[in-house]
């Protein structure tokens, strides 16, 4: 089976993008990152992608003013041009309209730095600390028009410790993000993920070890 052609959409440093590139280097991975697109021309992740020999492009949303549809048409056009089959949002800081989302049904993934459906939106680590949760983590989900609401593919959990700061917790979650995103992409690219009643099944099953990364607690 040929490897799925994947585009990663970024806005910033692109550490998740780098993890996806690293994990898909090997030819026996069912996906390959062939294209990286940023809506921010100077995004740090672009240089990382170039260094890895991957085609990059910037589609600067500011060029389109308030015309979100025109921005998305431009984005869609270059994805089609690069014969992209799967899209991974990785720190892509633009809300997408239903039109764009509907171009990629169950073919667009996002990573969110919280255990959804808890802490949708921004500042997840600060809000997790404020809420006093004992477990936090990250979620890879299919993108649907509603923000941070699509079917959950993989989650990874970490403990929250008494002396955690936002930065410490963010770093712990990021480590897990870098594991679960390549894992989720593998499952999806292998065609093992289906959606029934808004929930992901892996190999036709509701709960699968492959879809959960649980923490090892240390004192």
Binding site for ligand GRF (CB under 6 A): 10, 12-17, 90-91, 111-113, 138, 174, 177
Q: How far is the CB of 4 from ligand GRF (least distance, A)?
A: 20
112 flagged as catalytic = yes
∠ CA 4-58-175 to the nearest 5 degrees? 60
**C-alpha angle with apex 21: 19 to 24, nearest 5 degrees?**
105
Class of residue 212 by CB neighbours under 10 A (exposed 0-12, middle 13-18, buried 19+)? middle
Q: What is the DSSP letter of 134?
A: S
Q: Which of 86, 104, 87, 144 is nearest to 120 (CA)?
A: 144
Burial of 196 (0-12, 13-18, 19+ CB in 10 A): exposed
Q: Which is nearer to ligand GRF, 175 or 205 (CB)?
A: 175
Name the residue nearer to ligand GRF (CB basis): 90 or 128: 90
Residue nearest to ligand GRF (CB): 91
Supply the minimum distance, in Å, between the C-beta of residue 116 and ligand GRF.
Answer: 11
Single out the catalytic residue among 112, 125, 141, 178: 112
Nearer to ligand GRF, 17 or 84 (CB): 17
* Encoded tokens for 135: 């477990």
- The nearest distance, CB 33 to ligand GRF, in angstroms, is 13
Active site residues: 112
């Amino acid at each position: 089976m040929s490897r799925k052609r994947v585009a990663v959409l970024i806005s910033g440093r692109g550490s998740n993008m780098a993890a996806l590139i690293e994990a898909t280097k090997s030819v026996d991975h069912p996906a390959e990152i062939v294209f990286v697109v940023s809506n921010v021309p100077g995004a740090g992740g672009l240089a990382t992608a170039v260094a890895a020999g991957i085609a990059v492009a910037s589609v600067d949303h500011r060029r389109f003013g308030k015309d979100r549809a025109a921005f998305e048409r431009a984005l869609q056009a270059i994805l089609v041009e690069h014969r992209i089959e799967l899209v991974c949002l990785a720190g892509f800081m633009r809300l997408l309209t239903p039109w764009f989302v509907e171009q990629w049904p169950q073919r667009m993934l996002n990573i969110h730095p919280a255990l959804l459906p808890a802490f949708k939106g921004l500042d997840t680590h600060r809000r997790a600390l404020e809420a006093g949760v004992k477990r936090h983590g990250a979620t890879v989900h299919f993108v649907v028009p509603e923000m941070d609401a699509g079917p959950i593919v993989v989650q990874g959990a970490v403990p929250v410790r008494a002396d955690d700061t936002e930065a410490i917790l963010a770093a712990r979650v990021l480590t897990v993000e870098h594991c679960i995103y390549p894992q989720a992409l593998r499952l999806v690219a292998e065609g093992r993920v289906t959606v029934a009643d808004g929930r992901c099944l892996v190999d036709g099953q509701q709960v699968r070890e492959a879809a959960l990364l649980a923490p090892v607690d240390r004192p």
